[in-house]
């Protein structure tokens, strides 16, 4: 890694052999969060439409948390690196 | 004091973003940790610790575990949907709420206090600016820990009940009291005691004072001071406590704090710290050491280097014990399924009769 110029911000920590992987992982997680926010917005619009333009119904926070956990299980499941059906490695 | 006011689409986005981060942290602490446990065989006692550390470091699941620990914490605090920005959007309302008049004596800030240099050296927990600067920093911290074990009153109640089962103090000093939860827990555990909470952070103390429940306001107070040099009268407390303080101080400061607790604790009094010490399990030990770097907690391992029995003996304490602490039911079970911090209680009892030099 070349020597940074004086007073440059410290470089972020890295965890993979190629630091570019760290940065791409960061972008992937940020995109996942953005997708989740869009889903959340979409549900709010759908609730409003269901009420024919009236105020959206109260959010069930526990249900929202369960939804977030299911979403995360789906997108981060591959990070476990384990086969979902038995086959050769 | 009211919770931050939420307004419009931007705030709903932030709520959804933080819900995502919280769920992802749940995945990290549960699923990914469990996968790491399955995939990394615990070495036998004769194995070379350095070789095992290298093996773990190179393991892809560990690398993803480490990455997510680092970056989910960053996402919690920083960026357009981080908690710093969330609190910033409500700055005026929140500042106004901190201007409500307080009862005389509940809060004493010291504008002349110079915090020790280590205090501002790092952004602990990846909290930009830390707790020592902005007036609203404590609200960011409170939001950040709010849904976890650390932010829940149950943790503090458990610790207070454990300690007060061993001693019934009249005067309690709570070092590094943060935004008040530990001080309130001790005040509730001993309804006849007075409790003084100390912290370096004016923001934390201000929030603690404003949030102190009405029924505690005659017995609890907060003051800005360095726990390692309190300037309080000697032998003025029967119980001195701290919760998650020692690991945020460098070794020299912890040594000074032990000396200081020896000075302010009365004869026969008790000191009780709830903190973290490296676990024995080889994999958990590696994860704990990595947590220090990834969570910007550079002093996390320093107090573990101190021989606490010897340090407390020098400070006038007759007996010192260290034991595991279960922050929730089942936390100490061998098959506890989640990544957790290695909570420990350090309990020191002072000589009933003080020597003349103390």
Distance from CA of B63 to the nearest CA of A (A): 5
B2: pLDDT confidence band, cut at 50, 70 and 90? very low
| Tokens 């201000």, residue located | B206
Distance from CA of B7 to the nearest CA of A (A): 14
Average pLDDT over residues A49-55: 71
Contacts of A37 in chain B (CB under 8 A): 13, 16-17, 20, 81
B343-350 and B194-199 beta bridge pairing: unpaired
**Residue B208: closest CA among B132, B198, B93, B218:** B198
**What SS3 class is residue B72?**
helix
- Is pLDDT of B353 > 90? no
The pLDDT, as a whole number, for residue A44 is: 85
> How is the beta sheet containing B220-224 ordered, strand by strand?
B107-108, B220-224, B194-199, B171-175, B237-243, B265-276, B343-350, B317-324
What is the rounded CA–CA span in Å between residue B94 and residue B280? Answer: 44
**Residue B293: closest CA among B25, B57, B83:** B57
A58: pLDDT confidence band, cut at 50, 70 and 90? low
Q: Is B176 within 8 Å of B167 (Cβ atoms)?
A: no
Average pLDDT over residues B94-103: 93
A53: left (phi over 0), alpha (psi -120 to 50) or beta: left
B260: pLDDT confidence band, cut at 50, 70 and 90? very high
Average pLDDT over residues B326-352: 93
B181 by Cβ neighbours in 10 Å (0-12 / 13-18 / 19+) ranks as buried
B3: pLDDT confidence band, cut at 50, 70 and 90? very low
- Is pLDDT of B6 > 50? no
How does pLDDT run across B146-180, given as a tens digit for each residue?
A: 867 777 789 999 999 999 999 999 999 999 999 99
Contacts of B290 in chain A (CB under 8 A): none
How does pLDDT run across B45-70, given as a tens digit for each residue?
A: 778 889 999 999 999 999 999 999 99
The pLDDT, as a whole number, for residue B23 is: 95
Contacts of A35 (CB under 8 A, 6+ apart): none
Distance from CA of B122 to the nearest CA of A (A): 12
Query: CB-based contact (8 Å) between A47 and chain B?
Result: no
Residues 90-119 of B with CB under 8 A from A: none
Give counts: helices (H), strands (E), chain B: 13, 8
Contacts of A30 in chain B (CB under 8 A): 75
Interface mutation target, options A33, A36, A63, chain B, most CBs of B under 10 Å:
A33
How does pLDDT run across A63-85, given as a tens digit for each residue?
A: 888 989 999 998 888 888 888 77
Q: What is the pTM of this model?
A: 0.89
Query: So what's the ipTM on this one?
Result: 0.76
**Residue B277: closest CA among B311, B306, B252:** B306
- Is pLDDT of B288 > 50? yes
What is the rounded CA–CA span in Å between residue B186 and residue B271? Answer: 13
Q: What is the mean pLDDT of chain B?
A: 92
């Amino acid at each position: 890694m070349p020597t940074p110029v004086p007073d440059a911000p410290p470089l972020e920590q890295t965890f993979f052999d190629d630091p570019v992987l760290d940065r791409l992982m960061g972008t992937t997680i940020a995109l996942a969060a953005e997708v989740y926010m869009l889903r959340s917005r979409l549900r709010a619009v759908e609730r409003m439409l269901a009420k024919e333009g009236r105020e959206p119904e109260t959010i069930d926070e526990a249900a929202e948390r369960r939804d977030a956990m299911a979403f995360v299980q789906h997108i981060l499941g591959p990070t476990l690196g384990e086969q979902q059906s038995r086959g050769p490695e | 004091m009211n919770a931050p006011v939420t307004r419009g689409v931007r705030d709903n986005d932030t709520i959804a973003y933080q819900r995502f981060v919280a769920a992802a942290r749940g995945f990290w602490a549960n699923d990914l940790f469990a996968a790491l446990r399955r995939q990394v065989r615990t070495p036998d006692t004769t194995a070379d610790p350095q070789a095992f550390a290298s093996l773990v470091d190179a393991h892809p699941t560990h690398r993803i575990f480490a990455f997510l620990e680092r970056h989910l914490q960053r996402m919690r605090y920083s960026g357009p949907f981080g908690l710093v920005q969330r609190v910033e959007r409500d700055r005026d309302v929140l500042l106004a709420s901190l201007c409500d008049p307080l009862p005389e004596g509940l809060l004493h800030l010291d504008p002349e206090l110079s915090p020790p240099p280590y205090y501002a050296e790092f952004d602990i927990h990846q909290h930009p600016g830390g707790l020592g600067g902005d007036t609203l920093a404590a609200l960011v911290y409170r939001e950040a820990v709010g849904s976890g074990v650390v932010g829940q009153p149950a943790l503090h109640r458990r610790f207070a009940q454990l300690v007060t089962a061993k001693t019934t103090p009249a005067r309690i000093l709570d070092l590094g009291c943060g935004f008040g939860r530990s001080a309130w827990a001790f005040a509730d555990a001993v309804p006849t005691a007075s409790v003084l909470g100390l912290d370096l952070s004016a923001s934390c103390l201000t929030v603690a004072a404003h949030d102190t429940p009405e029924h505690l306001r005659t017995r609890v107070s907060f003051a800005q001071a360095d726990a390692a040099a309190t300037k309080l009268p000697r032998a003025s407390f029967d119980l001195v406590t701290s919760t998650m303080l020692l690991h945020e101080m460098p070794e020299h400061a912890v040594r000074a704090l032990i000396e200081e607790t020896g000075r302010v604790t009365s004869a026969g009094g008790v000191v009780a710290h709830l903190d973290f010490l490296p676990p024995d399990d080889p994999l958990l030990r590696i994860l704990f050491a990595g947590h220090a770097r990834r969570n910007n907690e550079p002093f996390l391992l320093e107090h573990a280097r101190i021989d606490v029995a010897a340090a407390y003996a020098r400070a006038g304490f007759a007996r010192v014990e260290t034991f595991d602490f279960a922050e929730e039911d089942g936390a100490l079970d061998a098959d506890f399924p989640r990544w957790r911090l290695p909570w420990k209680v350090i309990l020191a009892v002072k000589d009933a009769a003080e020597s003349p030099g103390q």
